[in-house]
């Protein structure tokens, strides 16, 4: 039975097979969840990310989890919100789908996501939650390894938006 869960918490403490990082296209760290993941994983993560030479918006790259409890970290730059007419919806869906595809390829059973693009990148929360949950649902229908996807929300408002999307 494949499941989608919504929890409130800090994704750096989650012992999933893979956690996803809401990165930027340099993959060289930043603020928000990206900064928290780099701090908790340790400097070896920076060195591993340097080798990719960046990553286009909506694509994904995988590294070891280093000092995190997660086995892998999947890094995906979500779209910056520019009003909604610049392919933002599709790019956000790509971030979720490409991250899950990598997780499946690396035999991950459990995957945890933060709320990609709804912090510094200003994607409207309700709209982002609907896209995330719909994309995860579609992926789980054909996934061969991934069975459990958890949205790890940092605050109650974000958790409420994803619970609403799961229940709709």
Catalytic residues: 34
Query: What tokens were used for 82?
Result: 């520019």
DSSP 68: S
Which residue, 31 or 84, has its beta carbon nearer to ligand AR6? 31
Provide the edge-to-edge strand list for the sheet that holds 18-23: 3-8, 148-153, 110-113, 18-23, 72-77, 61-64
Which residue, 55 or 146, has its beta carbon nearer to ligand AR6? 55
Q: Is residue 34 at the binding interface for ligand AR6, with CB under 6 A as the rule?
A: yes
Which of 58, 61, 70, 78 is in the footprint of ligand AR6 by CB under 6 A? 78
The radius of gyration computed from the CA coordinates of the chain, to the nearest angstrom, equals 14
Q: Is residue 152 at the binding interface for ligand AR6, with CB under 6 A as the rule?
A: yes
Q: Is residue 154 at the binding interface for ligand AR6, with CB under 6 A as the rule?
A: yes
Q: Is residue 31 at the binding interface for ligand AR6, with CB under 6 A as the rule?
A: yes
Which of 158, 159, 161, 165 is in the footprint of ligand AR6 by CB under 6 A? 158
**Residue 43 is inside which H or E element, if any?**
helix 43-50
Q: Is residue 5 at the binding interface for ligand AR6, with CB under 6 A as the rule?
A: no
| Strand spans (E) along the chain | 3-8, 18-23, 61-64, 72-77, 110-113, 148-153
Strand pairing partners for 8?
Answer: 153
* Residues 105-134 contacting ligand AR6, CB under 6 A: 114-121
The residues binding ligand AR6 (CB under 6 A) are: 10-12, 22-24, 30-34, 36, 78, 114-121, 152, 154-155, 158
């Amino acid at each position: 039975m494949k499941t989608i869960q919504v929890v409130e918490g800090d994704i750096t403490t989650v012992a999933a097979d893979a956690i996803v990082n809401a990165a930027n296209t340099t993959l060289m760290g930043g603020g928000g969840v990206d900064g928290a993941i780099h701090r908790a994983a340790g400097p070896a993560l920076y060195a591993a990310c340097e080798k990719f030479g960046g990553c286009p918006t909506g694509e994904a790259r995988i590294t070891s989890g280093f000092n995190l409890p997660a086995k892998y970290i999947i890094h995906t730059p979500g779209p910056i919100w520019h009003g909604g007419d610049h392919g933002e919806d599709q790019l956000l869906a790509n971030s979720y789908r490409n991250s899950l595809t990598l997780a499946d390829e690396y035999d991950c059973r459990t995957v945890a996501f933060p709320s990609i693009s709804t912090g510094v990148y200003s994607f409207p929360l309700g709209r982002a939650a609907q896209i995330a949950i719909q994309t995860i649902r579609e992926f789980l229908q054909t996934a061969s390894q991934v069975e459990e996807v958890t949205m790890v929300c940092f605050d109650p408002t974000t958790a409420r938006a994803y619970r609403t999307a799961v229940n709709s």
